[in-house]
Amino acid sequence: MTHTRQDYLDLDAKDPLAAQRALFDVPEGLVYLDGNSLGAMPKATAARVAHVLTREWGRDLIKSWNTAGWMDLPRKIGDKIARLIGANAGEVIVADSTSINLFKVLAAALRLNPTRKVILSERDNFPTDLYMAQGLSELLGQGHTLEFAEADAVHNAISQETAVVMLTHVNYRTGRMHDMLSITAKAHAMGALVIWDLAHSAGAVPVDVNDAGADFAIGCGYKYLNGGPGAPAFVFVAERYLAEFVQPLTGWLGHAQPFAFDWKYAPAPGIERAICGTPPVLSLAALECGVDTLLSADMSAIRQKSLALTDAFIALVEANCPELNLITPREHDLRGSQAAFTHPEGYAIMQALISRGVIGDFRAPDILRFGFTPLYTRFADVYDAAEALRDVMQSRAWDKPQFRQKNKVT
């Protein structure tokens, strides 16, 4: 195990991904370990968005829907994201938010499995997924129920009563990663469909939805895809379902001929039927820059570095801050690209760290969460963050009133 900052600088010097950091605008003197909430801005983004603003919108105005290919962006970027998640071209499209896309695919999946009424998930799943399932069940009024299993018991909880298994691949709090292949196989063996939320997976860990046989997936554009705050989300529909995929938000751009302006809805023949309304062009331009940064690197190298970064951070924190309790799995095949610890004063500790230029985040009730984005996180950042955390804990720097004042966003 390495012990000095120079040791970590030496690791950076040997890092095959070290040059990727130059693609991002990361402020000097800041250790940014919150890319699992909001990815850093690629340097290409500002110029790209400025071009869309000043030239495509500012000069060419409405002509740019055709001349600049604005209308094609959801499918174009979707095909790029497909390469990151093991999907085929034509199975992924960018549209709306993660929550709305979940509503679409959950409604479609329940329609495809009409005799079953159980939606199986984890109680510790991201709340919006659970809320959408609850809201849709109430809206349908057909007796659907949301049932829960612990993370390590999901496999055994899938039964012949299960209509849909709805899981986040990497848990947003603990960083625990499900075995997509085995859970999907078990669900299919029991006659259930599976929806995977890839918000904390896409761009962070290797994902192969088609190899796993996934039915549907959704994901976020502003975390590891570096698309900017509120970036559009994406939706995956396996090719075998495209012809019968019926989603309830039948907006005009999901129509087979949107500019025919027919009064009666007819779905587009492929993944385009997952779209509702007009694409957010500025946001899509920013998202494409973020996705391109991921495509410039090899995902296996990203994964290897992610595990090395998290291994190093966990070892340093446990050696120097024994009062913090690790809740992220130690096993590589169960770990996403984050490390999370609990402490009763977790919120104040994180605020004290942020005041020192180490940015992580807090998740209720007591979780300090650190995300590692290998394209721009350095091994020296790991050392500096762990040292700052050690000092905050040993000096009790967190024990001040200003660090206990809750902000709207934690």
140: its two tokens:
């349908």
126 in catalytic set: yes
CB 124 within 8 A of CB 174: yes
Fold exhibited by the domain 5-43+298-403:
Aspartate Aminotransferase, domain 1 (3.90.1150)
Looking at the chain, which residues constitute the CATH 3.40.640.10 domain(s)? 69-295
Does the N-terminal peptide bond of residue 258 adopt cis geometry, omega within 30 degrees of 0?
A: no
- With tokens 């709306």, the residue in question is 96
Tell me the average pLDDT across 261-268.
Answer: 96
How confident is the model over 63-96, as pLDDT tens digits?
999 999 999 999 999 999 999 999 999 999 999 9
Determine whether 197 is an active site residue: yes
Task: Check if 222 is active-site.
Answer: yes
Check 103, 222, 370, 383 and give the catalytic one.
222
Start-end of CATH 3.90.1150.10 domains in the chain: 5-43+298-403
The pTM for the full model equals 0.96
Q: Is 15 a catalytic residue?
A: no
Q: E-assigned strands of 133-261?
A: 145-148, 162-168, 193-197, 216-219, 234-237
| Mean confidence (pLDDT) of the chain | 97
pLDDT, residue 146, reads 98
Question: What is the predicted pLDDT for the residue at 407?
Answer: 87
Residue 1 pLDDT more than 70? Answer: no
pLDDT at site 3: 80
Backbone φ and ψ for 74, nearest 5 degrees, come out as -55, -40
How far is Cα 20 from Cα 42, in angstroms, rounded to an integer?
10
pLDDT computed for residue 409 by the predictor: 86
pLDDT band, residue 136 (cuts 50/70/90): very high
Spell out the CATH class of 69-295.
Answer: alpha beta
pLDDT digits (tens, 9 = 90+) for 149-183: 999 999 999 999 999 999 999 999 999 999 999 99
Active site (annotated) includes residue 265:
no
pLDDT 10s digits, 374-403: 999 999 999 999 999 999 999 999 999 999
Task: Give the number of other CB atoms < 10 A from CB of residue 278.
Answer: 13
pLDDT in tens, 288-347: 999 999 999 999 999 999 999 999 999 999 999 999 999 999 999 999 999 999 999 999
**pLDDT at site 118:** 98
**Distance set, CA 348 to CA 38, 320, 353, 392 (Å):** 21, 18, 9, 10
Q: Which of 223, 273, 335, 363 is catalytic?
A: 223
Residue of 197, 215, 361, 384 marked active site: 197
Nearest residue to 279 via CA among 257, 312, 305, 251: 251
Higher pLDDT, 173 or 405: 173
